[in-house]
Amino acid sequence: MKKINLVILFSGNGSNMENLIEYFNHNEFLSEDAKEKVGIQISCAVTNNPNAYGISRCEALGVNCEILPHKEFDSREKFDEALLTLLKKYNPDAVILAGFMRILSPVFTSVIKSINIHPSLLPKYKGANAIKETYESGDEFGGVSVHWVSDILDGGEIILQDYIPKIAGESLEAFEDRIHKLEHNLYPTAILKALNLTRVIK
């Protein structure tokens, strides 16, 4: 059976990371033409934040976690070089960003295929405050985008998007909770699409 090896990058809570590990590890998938079974293994997670709660999630899930503090590097490019060196140990087929709060430079993006999730309907509301900006906007919908990573902030090619209607009078916290639930549903599906795979084999 063909194996696909993924590494996740994260910076904080790690809920999207945990969702992906539980979805992919120990399951089998089919190629788009349904001729080949494929296994996906998330072999490692890497964080730039030594205090990230996601480290504990990795321990509980039995997934190796590497800590590479970005504050130890005096430029974005030097951090990315060290990240590439670290990833060579795992030889990933692709890298998945799950709440990784760093803009990757061409040093990294020109070498590694990476996928990111963003809590807005891109190209609207790029950056770290997307949920709040969507909530405060006059838009009728909020949403989530999964895209290929480029060196432009939230600017890579869209893989998949989905949306939820805004609810009059809803609190920011409730809206944010619905966005996170949408993320958890959309991200595995979008990654399968990017990898030319279809569904879980029951």
- What pLDDT score does 44 carry? 97
**Tokens, residue 57:** 């999630």
Taking residues 155-166, report their average pLDDT.
Answer: 97
- What pLDDT score does 65 carry? 98
Report the C-alpha gap between 48 and 152 in whole angstroms. Answer: 20
Catalytic-role residue among 26, 70, 118, 184: 118
Told to judge if 118 belongs to the known catalytic residues of this protein, a careful annotator would answer yes
- What pLDDT score does 202 carry? 64
Domain that includes residue 118, residue range: 2-200
Where residue 83 sits, what CATH number does that domain have? 3.40.50.170
Taking residues 43-48, report their average pLDDT.
Answer: 97
The total number of structural domains that make up the chain:
1
Confidence of residue 33 (pLDDT cuts 50, 70, 90): confident
Asked if residue 31 has pLDDT above 70, the reply is yes
Report the C-alpha gap between 24 and 29 in whole angstroms. Answer: 9
Predicted confidence (pLDDT) per residue in 63-89, tens digit: 999 999 999 999 999 999 999 999 999
- Cβ 135 vs Cβ 111: under 8 Å: no
Taking residues 131-140, report their average pLDDT.
Answer: 98
- Cβ 180 vs Cβ 18: under 8 Å: no
Whose tokens are 């920011």? That residue is: 172
Report the C-alpha gap between 84 and 67 in whole angstroms. Answer: 13
